[in-house]
Structure 1
């Protein structure tokens, strides 16, 4: 049996009339009748009961119809996948992300996506957490990788992974050789922190509040790299993301924070009230699969 014959059978099963089915398929009625007889011989059973000029799908035919439809659905999916590989869509997706994810998670995610969807194109926007959400709202970006979860109910949210936070201290600091540190041990420390508009600032303040600590903030920055530089110079300590687990910068030690809530959830956000593109939908579907296979950092 051929793919065309399976499609002809499904049309015939729908109309239960050879003339009508042949007209819909734009083939000659004798051609369709001969194809049905060949199909029934191959199956080994009559698929229709004949009633003068009409057909009635019987029990065998109903069973065959279910399986034929599944087979064609799978073949259509395979052809679509092959077509995507041969001629990948050229839509460009606007993707925004917070600064601290640009050195590891975003390249890792986009690299994996390029393997899944060759030819995918992106316009990338790197900014603070508040700014990337504004890019979603005004339509400049269709998706954003950020933390923490946006409070705006118009923004959809897909958690990607949890990232542990650590305490960055100078290499000669009293805590530098510790295996872990608790936030309530930092009451006398000078803290370097992100600026108020940044997502990591919100998370850090919530951590200290839950730990019952009012930190002595000596400096506010917009970049994790700047914070690490100030820590290395001995100007204070800072709560920073662990990133991909690589070594900290020179003259800085990253001490794991023992508090159980010392992590941030990184996720993908999008505007639910705006029609999305095919590229955006495909990227969200891939990100969901990626998230299921990701291990917490």
Structure 2
């Protein structure tokens, strides 16, 4: 006697095999059953009548039961045929709904774009970009995802995202990435800090300061580590947060300094210093999966974003 798990495997294989055999013939069978006439069904389906007759005969042979009773040129369903027709109509209706949803997803004017971006770009850069695009394509829908670069890249590979804004620029060969703009990073210090009265600073002058930063794996953390290394030191991380505004709050209460992009509005208790060396700028790029065609709305949004190259951070 076979173990239970073996019977489950056999049942699954047989079920999948039967479904695979039935799938291409369900619409043919349903047309014959609805019209009760093979010739008229063949005309409606646009195939020769002998081809349709052979398809129905193969279906009956594969199932091992008669589905139709022939009465001259007309046909009527057997009891087994009526059972199959009920299921076939439900399956075909579900397939049609799925096909309509797939077409709607890719419609150039009303489709959906799955777009990912960094948390630090969500307050002003992304809303401005979407506003400009929606002025030309007002009915296109967006699924927006805020995440860090590595996670967004994985989600693009999984088909969950069409496009994403990333920084730093990834070097993965399976991605196509186009630089869009550069964003200045300032050294944010508490308002009562010894350096707060300065307008400019070399990053090396902050080598002994505690830093607050996002966690490892985030693009901003990698950039912070790289700039500090270029300045000749490894930052001493006192606290970690998940987004730039949290870090600004930590800076405001004196927990450390941070390399951050400009805030949407000045934060009380925080002073932003221009870093003269090294050149603390990060490149923001638009990425999509190489070799995978974009839907029409996603391609339109990509082209619009690329047309904003060099003006992505210009919100005037």
Q: Same fold (TM over 0.5)?
A: yes
For the Cα contact (< 8 Å) 1:248–1:254, is it kept in 2?
Answer: no
Which residue of 2 is the match for residue 155 of structure 1? Answer: 175
Measured after TM superposition, the shift of residue 254 of structure 1 is: 1.0
1:127 pairs with 120, 127, 147, which one?
Answer: 147
Which residue of 2 is the match for residue 190 of structure 1? Answer: 210
Q: Deviations over 1:93-149 (max 9, x none)?
A: 100111111001100111111112221210011111211111111110000011111
- C-alpha RMSD over aligned residues: 1.8
Helix, strand or coil at the partner of 1:266: strand
For the Cα contact (< 8 Å) 1:161–1:296, is it kept in 2?
Answer: no
For the Cα contact (< 8 Å) 2:183–2:313, is it kept in 1?
Answer: no
Q: State yes or no: 1:251 paired with 2:251.
A: no
> Given the two structures, how large is their TM-score scaled by the length of structure 1?
0.67
For the Cα contact (< 8 Å) 1:148–1:264, is it kept in 2?
Answer: yes
Helix, strand or coil at the partner of 1:158: strand
Measured after TM superposition, the shift of residue 295 of structure 1 is: 6.2
1:237 pairs with 257, 262, 266, which one?
Answer: 257
For the Cα contact (< 8 Å) 1:163–1:296, is it kept in 2?
Answer: no
Taking structure 1 as reference, are residues 232 and 293 closer, same or farther at Cα in structure 2, changes over 3 Å only?
Answer: closer
Q: State yes or no: 1:220 paired with 2:236.
A: no
Structure 2: distance between partners of 1:178 and 1:185? 12
1:288 pairs with 292, 296, 306, which one?
Answer: 306
- The alignment of Structure 1 onto Structure 2 pairs a total of residues equal to 209
Structure 1: distance between partners of 2:293 and 2:285? 20
> Given the two structures, how large is their TM-score scaled by the length of structure 2?
0.63
Measured after TM superposition, the shift of residue 292 of structure 1 is: 4.8
Unaligned runs of 5+ in 1: 1-86
Structure 2: distance between partners of 1:186 and 1:223? 21
Helix, strand or coil at the partner of 2:301: helix
Structure 1: distance between partners of 2:148 and 2:312? 24
Which residue of 1 is the match for residue 230 of structure 2? Answer: 210
Unaligned runs of 5+ in 2: 1-106
Listed as ranges, the matches of 1:1-297 within 5 Å are 89-243=109-263, 246-294=264-312
Runs of 4+ in 1 over 6 A off after TM superposition: none
Structure 1: distance between partners of 2:114 and 2:312? 23
Measured after TM superposition, the shift of residue 259 of structure 1 is: 2.0
Structure 1: distance between partners of 2:108 and 2:286? 23
Measured after TM superposition, the shift of residue 226 of structure 1 is: 1.2
Helix, strand or coil at the partner of 1:181: strand
Q: Deviations over 1:177-236 (max 9, x none)?
A: 211111110121111111111000111111011111122211122111111111111111
For the Cα contact (< 8 Å) 1:132–1:144, is it kept in 2?
Answer: yes
Structure 2: distance between partners of 1:207 and 1:224? 17
Which residue of 1 is the match for residue 21 of structure 2? Answer: none
Q: Deviations over 1:8-59 (max 9, x none)?
A: xxxxxxxxxxxxxxxxxxxxxxxxxxxxxxxxxxxxxxxxxxxxxxxxxxxx
Measured after TM superposition, the shift of residue 261 of structure 1 is: 2.4
Larger deviation: 107-116 or 254-263? 254-263
Helix, strand or coil at the partner of 1:258: strand
